[in-house]
Amino acid sequence: MTSPFVTRDGSSWMPAYLSAIDGTTCIGCGRCFKVCSREVMHLYGVDDAGEILGICDEDDDFDGELNRMIMVVDHPGRCIGCGACARVCAKNCQTHEAADNAAA
Ligand code: SF4
Ligand code: SF4
C-alpha cells in the first residue's frame, strides 16, 4: 500500500513512531534523547527491585534508592516518527510503529 505521507518533494514517506523502550535492555545512555527534537522520552531512575522511581533531572535525589537509569517513552504523542532515535540506539531496545498501523 502506498504511504499517505510524503516528504517535501512529494516522495512517499512512512513515519515510524516510537511506542516503547524495553527497560530491561536499555542502558540509559541518553543517545536517543539527545537526537530527538520532540522530547518524547526522558531518563527515569530505577531502584534495586526494578521499580521506576521517577524522572531524573539535575535536582533529583532518590535517597540512595537509585540503582540505574532507563529511558522511558513518557510522551509518545509528541513523536513525528523521524526514526533518529532508532539509528543511535546500540541496544535495539526500542519499538517503533508504522504510522499506518498506529492508533489515532
Ligand atoms: S522517532 Fe524521532 S521524534 Fe520520535 S522519538 Fe524518535 S527521535 Fe523523537
Ligand atoms: S539509545 Fe537505546 S540504550 Fe540508550 S537510552 Fe536510548 S533506548 Fe536506552
**Angstrom distance (rounded) from CA 12 to CA 74:** 29
pTM higher than 0.85 for the full model? yes
Q: Using one digit for the tens of pLDDT, what is the confidence trace for 51-96?
A: 999 999 877 778 889 999 999 999 999 999 999 999 999 999 999 9
Other CB atoms within a 10 A radius of the CB of residue 92 amount to: 8
Alpha carbon of 41 to ligand 1 centroid (Å): 9
Predicted local confidence at residue 104, as pLDDT = 58
Q: Is the CB of 70 under 6 A from ligand 1?
A: no
18 C-alpha to ligand 1 centroid (Å): 6
pLDDT, the chain, mean: 93
pLDDT value at 103 more than 70: no
Check residue 60 and give its pLDDT. 73
Give residue-wise pLDDT tens across range 23-61. 999 999 999 999 999 999 999 999 999 999 999 987 777
Output the CA 28–ligand 2 centroid distance in Å: 5
Query: CATH says 26-98 is which class?
Result: alpha beta
Domain boundaries, the chain: 26-98
Taking the alpha carbons at both ends of the chain, their separation in whole angstroms is 19
> Which of 37, 42, 79 most suits a substitution to test ligand 1, by most atoms within 8 Å of the C-beta?
79
